[in-house]
A and B are shown apart, each in its own frame.
Chain A
Amino acid sequence: MLAFIIRNIGQRLILLVFISIIAHAIVHLAPGEPSLVDPANPRMKAEDIERIRAAFHLDDPLHVQYFYWMRDLFTGELKSFKDNQPVLKKIWERFLNSVPLFILATLITWCVAFPIGIKAALARGTPFDKSTTFLAYFLISFPGFFLSYILIIYLVQTFDIPVISMRTFGLEDAGTWTRINDRLWHLTLPAIMTAIVGVAVLSRYVRSQMLEVIHHDYIRTARAKGLSEDAVIYKHALRNALLPFITMFGLMIPGLISGSVIFEQIFAWPGMGRLGYDAILSRDFPVILTLNFIAAVLTLIGTLVSDVLYALADPRIKF
């Protein structure tokens, strides 16, 4: 077991090195540099651009720049091109804002998708199955921001739900309870929007996994030996159907960061996605690269944890 984990960590560290090299190469080889963001600015003279390029090491060869990035990242001294703030501190602040959104969206996704998927698989071919299938495809096919706009207009007009930013401006002196309540209401709509696509996709997977398992011989055996239907479904079938979802956990992390770009933009949520978007607009290479790097680290940790959990949960897997 320990050898398995150590070997896995080693493989992932090698992958991480390649990921960082590729990300660095993509960002630096593409045309467009921080010094070119505002070429019309009359106060930017040629020598200023020279100075900026020298300060950001943009004139050095790529591998030297990569070395500087890695060194600064691990000594924690990496500074944003835009405002000279430490990158890790900036990202950490935004990360704390994104975490509640991630957690709530993931909770909604898993709590809604599993019951629907299981029910649809058990009631295969019934109107319930057909309508949830259609609904799932309907929600997957909706352009996210279009659906958000419709929901915002409808919900704000009918229920007066706040939709912009994380808190209502001017409530800083209100009681704790009012502030918590306010935060929760602000969280509702972005979390639901982030979760909708997840629910649609995951409920389809759960359904097909359940269908796959139900036709196995051991289910027939369980029925044949006279177990109650509940025991057959929830003890024998569901446990086996759930196994693949352990591995999905790690691969969902990059999706959460990607998906948040659009929704954080719509709901003015100051999270990691918006930080990334702003960094792209201002060619803030250290922030873009570090965000990518952190996403990769989180994904690799996620897949490692799910690999280990899979091995623990499934006795058929040997090391």
Chain B
Amino acid sequence: MNQQEGYADDIVKGFVIWSMVWGLVAVLVGVFISFQIAFPQLNFPPYLTYGRLRPIHTNAGIFGWGIGSFMAFFIYITQRLTRTSLWSPGLAKAQLWLFNIVIALAAVTLAMGMNRSKEYAELEWPVASLVVVLWVIFAVNIVMTIVKRREEQMYISLWYILATLVGVAVLYLVNNAAIPVSLTKSYSAYAGANDANVQWWYGHNAVAMVLTTPPLAIFYYFLPKATGVPIYSHRMGVIAFWSLIFMYLWTGAHHLLWAPVPDWVQTLAMGFSVMLIAPSWAAVFNGYFSMNGQWHQMRENYLVKFLIFGITFYGLQTLQGPSQSIRTFSAFIHFTDWVPGHVHMGTLGWVSLVLFAAIYYTIPRLYHSEIYSIGLANVHFWLVLTGQLIFSITMWIAGVQQAAMLNATNPDGSLHYSFIETMVELYPYWHMRAVGGVIYLAGLLVFLYNIYQTIAGAKTQAVAQRA
């Protein structure tokens, strides 16, 4: 408990630390499965095969590292923006326990093969039900804190926080609707091509409500905090917010272009995907314009470096994404390794860079100390940036080559390459991706060491003062 202001900050510490643990798990598993693709002998059945580990990687990354740290910062930010202590610290404590239980259960059940195979909605109904409980506890606590706020004006971050709470609930409940048949198995409420449409509506909007709106909330809060100057435009924030909220949930079917779902659904999804460039870039420009006269801070302030690179990758991501949702380009690039390259620019570049900045900002304040080493933070920055760029660029090149080879025809119109010939050519890229992953992992370890030393240093300092 932060005694001075009465904020429930111990719970923030708990969520930050546990999200870092799950983040490490996600990256470790990610690096391991990247080696499995390059060297299939590294599959150790049954629990350590690629098919079982990949959902553990995505779930640990999105829900463990992502949601875990979002919970931390939603609690941290909401208290400060409302000048109100958390509605119920006890409930938040229960939430932290439940969160860790859910993520651990997710890892164990997926390793056991309890998998619905719906991307990012893999968890079987007992675990999925716990997720719902978790989310209700979290949402009630945050909403109640906002309701009894002592600051009338609601800052941009709070809008995104509320939208996230509502959006995730809608998505999760609709897509996870299922009829349990046993403790380990359920049947989806949807079947056939309709099931696929519901799934990708969810799948893409998990990106919206987990990997876009929460990091935006965090970005809008920590950029002014880090630079010391206010955000450029509140009005632009309003327009960007509502247009993003309005447009996002239409776009899921761009994962199903040329698939057997109705054409009008695909076209609508494609149109809204392209329209999304506007609200996305409004946020990017709001970030950039906030730096007017402050660009020198890119040299002097490592937090700004993380945040501005983060929002830059968000901008690139939201140009690349819409272009991929155009039918013709999708026809070329879908199914290839280009797509993992795209995804990891968003997760490693945008989401994680913003989270790193938020953690660097908050941990010293929560523990009343200074960051252990700014030098190491810079090493961390360059390592994760290099690792991520190697990963993404390698996969883009691989994807273009793969797509070109799969589409290459002889003059008579017959296919020039067999599938296996196109696949064999990807091995060098897969080796390179694994190298990128290892560099990223090294950067993450530097980060964790820096945070560990900051906390340890704060504790010895506190002991020394008491003595």
Q: Please determine whether chains A and B interact with each other in the same assembly.
A: no
A contacts, CB < 8 Å to B: none
